[in-house]
Amino acid sequence: MDSEEFAVKLNKIKYEAMKGFEEKCKSATHLVDGKETLLTDTLEKEIEKIIEESMKKHNDVIDKNGLKVTYDGKKKVTEKVTILYVEDNSCTELMSFKWNNIYLQLKHVIIRDGCCLRVKSFELSNLPLLETVEIGDNSFTESPNGGGDEGKSFSITECKSLDTISIGRFSFSDYGEFILEDLDNLQHLTIGDRHKKSCNFYHVSFILRSSYLIHC
C-alpha cells in the first residue's frame, strides 16, 4: 500500500473514532493546563500524533523494503513504486503501457498471462534502477498466432541497470517493431520457448542499438 492510500485509511479510522466518541460524549470536558477543554479536542490531537507516527513508520518500511504496486490500468501509481505487478488477465482495455523517468525507483516489472491485450505501444525508458522485466504468455496481443500490425511498437531504452528480459509464448505476436537501445547491463534475453511454438514478434525486424557497440 502506498503512502497516499495508507493516509486515506488512517484518516477514515480517525473520522470513525471521532464520530463514535462525539455521539457518546457530546459535552464531556476536562482540565488541560487549568483550562476547561473538550475531550474531543484532546482525542483528536492524540489521534493526529498516532497518525503522524504511523505514517513515519510506514514510509520507513517502504524506503527499506520497496513498494509493490498491483496495477489495474486505472488507478494512479505512486512515484515510489519499486515493483510493478500486473495480475493474470488484467488491464485488458489499456491502450498504452508507458513508464519513464518519473518512476526513478522502479526495479521490477512483472506482467502475468493474458494481460494488456489491446496495448499498441509498450515503452520502458530512462528507468535507471530497472533490473528485470518479466512478461507471461499471451500478453500484449490480439492475434496470438502472428497477425502483423506495423503500428504496434515494443521498446526498452536507456535502462542502464536492466539485467534480464523474459517474454512468454505468444506475447507481442502481432507487433510490428522491436527496439532495445542503450541497455548496457543486459545479460539475459529470453523470448518464447525454443522447444514450443511461440510466435513472439512474428513479423518484426529486431533493432538493437548501443553506444558501446558503435564505439567498438
Q: What is the pLDDT of residues 94-120, one digit of tens each?
A: 999 999 999 999 999 999 999 999 999
Task: Give yes or no: residues 78 and 161 share one domain.
Answer: yes
Highest average pLDDT, of 54-63, 65-74, 101-110, comes from 101-110
Number of domains in the chain: 2
User: 56 with 142, same domain?
Assistant: no
Report the pLDDT value the prediction gives residue 130, as an integer from 0 to 100.
97
Instruction: Let me know whether 145 and 60 are in one domain.
Output: no
Q: Are residues 22 and 75 in the same domain?
A: no
Nine cell digits for residue 42 = 484532546
pLDDT-derived band at 37 (thresholds 50, 70, 90) equals: low
- Burial-class residue 22 by CB neighbours within 10 Å (0-12, 13-18, 19+): middle
Closest CA to 78 of 173, 187, 10, 4: 4
Which of 65, 82, 116 corresponds to the end of one domain?
65
Q: Give the domain range for residue 22.
A: 3-65
**Domain identity same for 46 and 82:** no
Confidence bin at 34 (pLDDT 50/70/90): low
pLDDT band, very low/low/confident/very high, at 69 (cuts 50, 70, 90): very high
Residues 211 and 116 in one domain: yes
Q: CA-to-CA distance for 97 and 104, rounded, in angstroms?
A: 17
Over residues 166-182, mean pLDDT:
93
Boundary-marking domain end, from 65, 86, 107? 65
Q: Are residues 22 and 84 in the same domain?
A: no
Indicate whether 16 and 108 sit together in one domain: no
- What pLDDT was estimated at residue 148? 62
What pLDDT band is residue 216 in, cutting at 50, 70 and 90?
very low
Among residues 65, 86, 103, the one where a domain terminates is 65
Whether the pLDDT of residue 70 is over 90: the answer is yes
In this structure, what C-alpha cell is assigned to residue 75?
488507478
The answer on 155 and 108 residing in a single domain is yes
Q: Looking at the structure, do residues 25 and 51 belong to the same domain, yes or no? A: yes
Q: Is the pLDDT assigned to residue 1 strictly greater than 60? A: yes
**Same domain? 55 vs 94:** no
